[in-house]
Amino acid sequence: MEQATTKLLLSEEKAKELFKAIEHKGLIISGKSEKQLCDEIVQIAKEDFGVENHWGKKIVRTGINTLQPYIANPPNLVIQDDDILFFDFHPIFEGWEADLGRTYVLGNDSLKQKIKKDVEAAWYEGNSWYFKQDKLTGADFFKYATDLARRYGYEFGNAIAGHIIGKFPHEQPDDPADLCLDVHPDNHNDILQFDKQGNKRHWILELHFVDRENNIGAFFEQLLTAR
């Protein structure tokens, strides 16, 4: 396996272990604010996993905030009984990025459980589809993701459906306004092309499904992988 792929998969596995540690410590509970849980995640990442750096915006979103896109800065909410919430965390392990998103449901609300299950199932469907493509623009991949959301009965909740990932900091476009490294409707470049050094690019698929009628959203994100 190519070295970069190996490093990225190792980073992702560590991020999954981090999320499991948070679950096992019983930290995802009602009565706690998003900020408090976010601070606890960062502390565990540093003390138990050696994570000194991470990137991204709001790590934890709960309740009505699960409808908000990545770019939004919704107010800090308190997790409620029977709530839905998701993590979007970007830790760096030994110089390699991870980008992991997971949804959690407190209680047994059937709609919340369903959207959580659906977004994960859809991600694996999208992962399989990606590796069957010989050519794929960012715009076409974004359209696939939004169509996927509709097929499952939801609205797609974000402005992008993924981006590249790599050794920190990952590759940046020459023009900061260029969307060539995002899964975005205005990216008409073939995202399967190699980078300027002739190296394979690695991509994250992030799915944000929104049910506006019931004011809930769910999120699932990780590295696209053929394994």
pLDDT digits (tens, 9 = 90+) for 32-45: 999 999 999 999 99
Q: Which pair of tokens denotes residue 210?
A: 């929104």
| 57 closest CA partner among 158, 203, 205 | 158
Q: How far is CA 37 from CA 60, 62, 83, in A?
A: 7, 11, 14
* Local structure of 181: helix, strand or coil: coil
Residue 29 has pLDDT above 90, yes or no: yes
Q: How many CB atoms lie within 10 A of CB 78?
A: 14
**Calpha distance 207→120 (Å, rounded):** 8
Write down the pTM of the prediction: 0.96
CA distance 161 to 62: 20
Among residues of the chain, what percentage have pLDDT more than 70? 99
pLDDT digits (tens, 9 = 90+) for 52-102: 888 767 899 999 999 999 999 999 999 999 999 999 999 999 999 999 999
pLDDT surpasses 70 at 159: yes
Task: Output phi, psi for 17, to 5 deg.
Answer: -65, -40
pLDDT of residue 227: 65
Q: Quick one: pLDDT band at residue 177, thresholds 50, 70, 90?
A: confident
